[in-house]
Structure 1
Amino acid sequence: MTALTIPAPARTAAAAATVIRTVRAWQLPPQPAGLPPGLPEQVTAAAGEPPAGPAWAEHRTRFAIELVGEGVSGWQAPVGETVAQIVTDDLAAGLIGHDAAAPRRLAYRPKTGRHRSGAHARQAASAVELACWDLASRAAGVSVTGLLGGTIRPTVPAYASALGLDPAHPAAREAAAWITNAGFWGQKWPLTKPLILAGPKAVAKTLGPLREAAGEGRFMVDALGRCRLDEAMRLLPVFADLEVAFAEELLPAGSWGWHRLRAAGAGVPLAAGEHAVDEAEQIRLLTGEGVDVWQVDPGWSGGLARSLHTTELAADLGMATFPHGDRLHAALALAGACCRDKVPAVEWHLALEPLRQQIFPIPLRVEGGLLPVRTTAGLAEIPVLPERTAAWEVTGS
């Protein structure tokens, strides 16, 4: 274990329990490879390539961030090694003495490095912000949704993300039918690059049977930013015929072609937001009349307060928000504090989310298409830690 001591600001004996004394990182086991156990046969049969698991650096080397107050800690996990390194190099020293119960002050804490923007820097800032909410919630004995103004609803609908399944697989039709019968709000299927290159007729031939099998359930597609503008525009009539509820990231988040794509019409709602990590890009997407559906991720966008702000802005602009599923507990806190018109559903990744949940003693599960909103203190359960010392620690004197 390495330790760094930072002079802490003067404080009285009556200082709040939420004042951060120490910042630690605990290394977690790598995410297991392959598909999670317990998936129905209809889903596993349609799997293309198994989830990357330890093949991805952020899944192979994972950490839990701990913010230590007076007799209580706040947690956020898992984060990748690069994100954990930015927390220790740039953010940890400035967190000593910060009151986690004052989220608006967090942005003004001193930083010691040069990482200010970009995906990893925003993930690091988000991880710290979410850990602050966890600490403040545990210290107050109030749920995070309670701190956000109150729990509006005890459960939130989940839509099934079929990313990791092959839409062209012969078993995909049965998987689509299973998703609808399981009660999910809807289902989202990937547009692979070979399928995009094959053209609109091939896309229609592949997705048509899945749309039929989904029945009355909502049907969405995700291109993962793989389309060129001309490819995306040719696909819009296909999606209109399929009555797609929304088409996600046909273009990369930073593309200037969004307004041209939306102007093409066809009545297909366009969705984006999870990769718009910086504030300026978020506002440009929201106000640029290029998208119709907002997809924020509290673990990537700057944290929970920022996600709530953009969700409210999206609602003012007539857009619903469907939080990205990477930080599911934070997404549920956000959804639980909002009405269903603002946040109709959150994402449940069929092939990845059960693997992410394995670090928690009580994993989240979808029941009847619904996920529970946490009503007890803490953003999530404290992750299960290995029985050894922290990977690193920064503490106040």
Structure 2
Amino acid sequence: MARRDGGAVTVVRAVRLWPVAGQQAGLPEGLPDAVAAVALAPAGPSWPEHRTRFAIEVVGDGVSGWHAPVGEGVARLVVDTLADGLVGHDAAAPRKLGYRPRVGRHQQGAHARQAVSAVELACWDLASRASGRSVPELLGGTVRAQVPLYASALGLDPAHPEAVKAAAWIAEQGFWGQKWPLTKELLRQGPRVVGRVLRALREAAGDGRFMVDGLRRCRLDEALALMPVLADLDVAFAEELLEPGGFAWARLRVAGAGVPMAAGEHAVDEHEQMQLLAGGAVDVWQTDPGWSGGLARSLHTTEVAADLGMATFPHGDRLWAALALAGACCRDKIPAVEWHLTLEPLRQQVFTEPIVVEAGLLPSGAGAGLAPLPVTSSPLPAWEVGS
């Protein structure tokens, strides 16, 4: 991976941002009938970050690395705070990336960490394409060629009369498990109704693992009342019934009831991650390489979680990165990766080669590149830094 003049081909010479199409409104085409019957139209197309989107290109010598999509706010942070310091960085040295110069005041928080994560993932893509080695290989070695998925039904209505058919369909497809949302409407009806609705779904799921996601919507009293219900359903984990890490979360942990508590995808800064992990606040760790600082950081917290006896279930927002992470870890560390039934097909539309699930499995990434190339919507970049 070296040039004749002694420079590495993976040294970043320029950073470009290319427009990509915004997320289309409505549900994706081709959803299975059982899923489409109970699916809710996603709210994402109305969000500015999904209407105006970009792909990041880090340009080496004769090869580029890519990451997509990012919203305009994250793209602006890449240009304003990170791009100048990224030029001259060797993408094959990911541990040095955190020491590259940054400018501006916005160094922490969700958008800042998404920007850092985006350029880190683009550098992994560049290093992989330049070397011809897969990202799991670069992370330390490919442990698994295929990764189990659990189906996220967060875009479905759990109280719909046909929801049990969707739960049965998920089980038939061979997914590792399935996760259902606790909607506001369902929570308002109280724990008895929640229990009745979830039990019907649980029975339809058969022997597959069953999880719930509170989406931080529960009040403390609601969450406390739900714990015995969830324990009776033998859920594999309950995700973010309320805001993790605070006083209410601690009260819920004390109540226990034997329900494993999951969190982590929204812990974007390092200190938040360590507080949840080392403080004994969670039983199941969730990381998102696109939010948490990138693949190297996600691998680190996955290893810390494993040392503390916790499994990690990567959030599915940056699916390709989550699959690469899982490919470099054994199944005890990462049993499965999230596949969002209604949103992931929409996310895949930005790539030249959308991924297809077979028997509840996806490849961890055997070839060069972290993800397929994105589909840009302009012949010229929107911004360019460097040359």
The TM-score range, normalised by the shorter chain, is over 0.9
Q: Is residue 2:323 matched to residue 1:332? A: yes
1:36 maps to which of 19, 28, 34: 28
| Cα drift, residue 88 of structure 1 | 0.4
Query: Residues 257-272 of structure 1: matches in 2 within 5 Å?
Result: 257-272=248-263
Residue aligning to 1:126:
117
Q: Is residue 2:218 matched to residue 1:227? A: yes
Q: Is residue 2:9 matched to residue 1:17? A: yes
| Cα drift, residue 39 of structure 1 | 1.1
Write the letter of the residue equivalent to 2:7. Answer: A
CA offset digits 1:108-153 (Å, max 9, x no partner):
1111211110100000000011001111111111111110111101
| Cα drift, residue 157 of structure 1 | 0.4
Question: Alignment length, in residue pairs?
Answer: 385
Write the letter of the residue equivalent to 2:13. Answer: R
SS in 1 for 2:115: helix
- Are the equivalent residues in 1 in contact too, given 2:269–2:292 (CA < 8 A)? yes
- Are the equivalent residues in 2 in contact too, given 1:155–1:370 (CA < 8 A)? yes
Counterparts of 1:288 and 1:259, CA distance in 2: 11
Query: Residues 301-340 of structure 1: matches in 2 within 5 Å?
Result: 301-340=292-331
SS in 1 for 2:167: helix
Residue aligning to 1:7:
none
Counterparts of 1:61 and 1:387, CA distance in 2: 13
2:234 maps to which of 243, 253, 264: 243
SS in 2 for 1:79: strand
| Cα drift, residue 36 of structure 1 | 1.2
Farther off after superposition, 379-388 or 18-27: 379-388
| Cα drift, residue 12 of structure 1 | 9.2
Write the letter of the residue equivalent to 1:138. Answer: R
Farther off after superposition, 12-21 or 85-94: 12-21
Counterparts of 1:108 and 1:149, CA distance in 2: 22
Residue aligning to 2:150:
159
SS in 1 for 2:247: coil
Residue aligning to 2:282:
291
Counterparts of 1:171 and 1:43, CA distance in 2: 9
Tell me which stretches of 4 or more aligned residues in structure 1 moved more than 4 Å: none
Counterparts of 1:330 and 1:217, CA distance in 2: 25
Farther off after superposition, 258-267 or 73-82: 258-267
- Are the equivalent residues in 1 in contact too, given 2:18–2:378 (CA < 8 A)? no
Write the letter of the residue equivalent to 2:30. Answer: G
Counterparts of 1:316 and 1:383, CA distance in 2: 36
1:110 maps to which of 101, 105, 116: 101
Any unmatched runs of 5+ in structure 1? 1-10
- Percent identity of equivalent pairs: 71
TM-score scaled by structure 1? 0.95
Write the letter of the residue equivalent to 1:206. Answer: V
SS in 1 for 2:98: helix
TM-score scaled by structure 2? 0.97
- Are the equivalent residues in 1 in contact too, given 2:19–2:382 (CA < 8 A)? yes
Q: Is residue 2:375 matched to residue 1:384? A: yes
SS in 2 for 1:320: coil
CA offset digits 1:321-368 (Å, max 9, x no partner):
000000000000000000000000000000000111111121112100
Farther off after superposition, 117-126 or 378-387: 378-387
Write the letter of the residue equivalent to 1:279. Answer: E
Counterparts of 1:300 and 1:90, CA distance in 2: 17
| Cα drift, residue 257 of structure 1 | 3.0
Residue aligning to 2:340:
349
- Are the equivalent residues in 1 in contact too, given 2:158–2:180 (CA < 8 A)? yes
